[in-house]
Amino acid sequence: MAGRIFNLCLFCAATSSVMCAVQSGGGSGNTVSDSSSSRGPHFDTAASKNVTALLGKTAYLNCRVKNLANRTMSLQVSWVRHRDVHLLTVGRYTYTSDQRFRAIHQPHSEDWTLQIKYPQHRDSGVYECQVSSTPHLSHFIHLTVIEPDTEIVGGPELFIDRGSTINLTCVVRHSPEPPAYIFWNHNDAIISYSSTRGGVSVATERGETSRSVLLIQKARPSDSGNYQCNPSNARTANVTVHVLNGEHPEAMQHGGNQRMGPSLGALAFISYVLLVYC
């Protein structure tokens, strides 16, 4: 009889059937199991992904466990921080004195979420979502805490010939959402694009990486000074502009600074700005 059972199971595997019928000795009854419904607890990795969070902005690490409620025994889902092997949560309860951490779980939900308020760079690392089965099940999620980065291309110093066009490109990276605005300052004063000086324009492109291009035509010595790019949700960036009267001061070579033009990508964007605004 053992040989008969063995042959039946091989047939099921060969036909890729999700159902397998096994006949026990002497009886006519069959035991039928569906592999999808009888499968024990397991992780839905598509809904339990690595997380990139903004410094200081609440992060949510989600762990989705399928078929947890199908078990006759009571199983718990826990979160463990690997950096110091610290148990953070068990079920809906939090087991840490750090009040930034909280367990979130709605009844009848498959999602077990670890909330981290005001995340810092030190919170980056591996977090383990663990199911208390035997043996226990683990799924690892990596948290990366980043800070928006602001850069003025070609800084920190730019040397411009008098009469040429000053073009400053400010790039904002690693922002979870595009900045609501990007202001430009010159020597701590907000630049007015409708001033009597004329020839001043700005164009901003918002997206995963945001760019703002400031154009000042027919540069004059009074345009020299400190320029500051101020995004609404990131740090400021500065550049010092020197408008030259044809001279070539030693400062141009100091520290490797030279006249610097925009990149090819920036040139294309600037050409678009000139066509639209000039």
* Three-state secondary-structure class, residue 272: helix
Domain 42-146: assigned CATH number: 2.60.40.10
Confidence of residue 247 (pLDDT cuts 50, 70, 90): low
- Look at residue 11 in the predicted model and tell me its pLDDT: 31
Mean pLDDT, residues 37-61 taken together: 87
Confidence of residue 198 (pLDDT cuts 50, 70, 90): confident
Residue with tokens 């703002």: 212
Q: Cα–Cα distances in Å, from 201 out to 40, 105, 171, 231? A: 63, 51, 17, 17
- Look at residue 73 in the predicted model and tell me its pLDDT: 60
* Cβ–Cβ < 8 Å for 224, 243: yes
* Domain residue ranges in the chain: 2-35, 42-146, 149-277
**Helix, strand, coil percentages, rounded to 5, for the chain:** 20, 40, 40
Q: What is the C-alpha separation between 112 and 94, in angstroms, rounded? A: 12
What is the percent of the chain where pLDDT is above 70?
73
Residue with tokens 């408008």: 243
Mean pLDDT, residues 149-175 taken together: 92
| The token pair that represents 231 in the structure block | 């995004």
| The token pair that represents 225 in the structure block | 């000074």
- First CA to last CA across the chain, in angstroms? 90
Mean pLDDT, residues 190-194 taken together: 87
- Look at residue 72 in the predicted model and tell me its pLDDT: 47
The rounded Cα 235 to chain-centroid distance in angstroms is 17
Domain 149-277: CATH architecture, name and number where available: Sandwich (2.60)
Q: Return the closest-CA partner of residue 113 out of 156, 150, 79.
A: 79
Residue 51: beta bridge partners?
A: 143
pTM listed for this prediction: 0.58
At 150-162, the pLDDT tens digits run 999 988 999 999 9
* Cβ–Cβ < 8 Å for 236, 229: yes
Residue 80: beta bridge partners?
A: 87, 128
What is the percent of the chain where pLDDT is above 90?
54
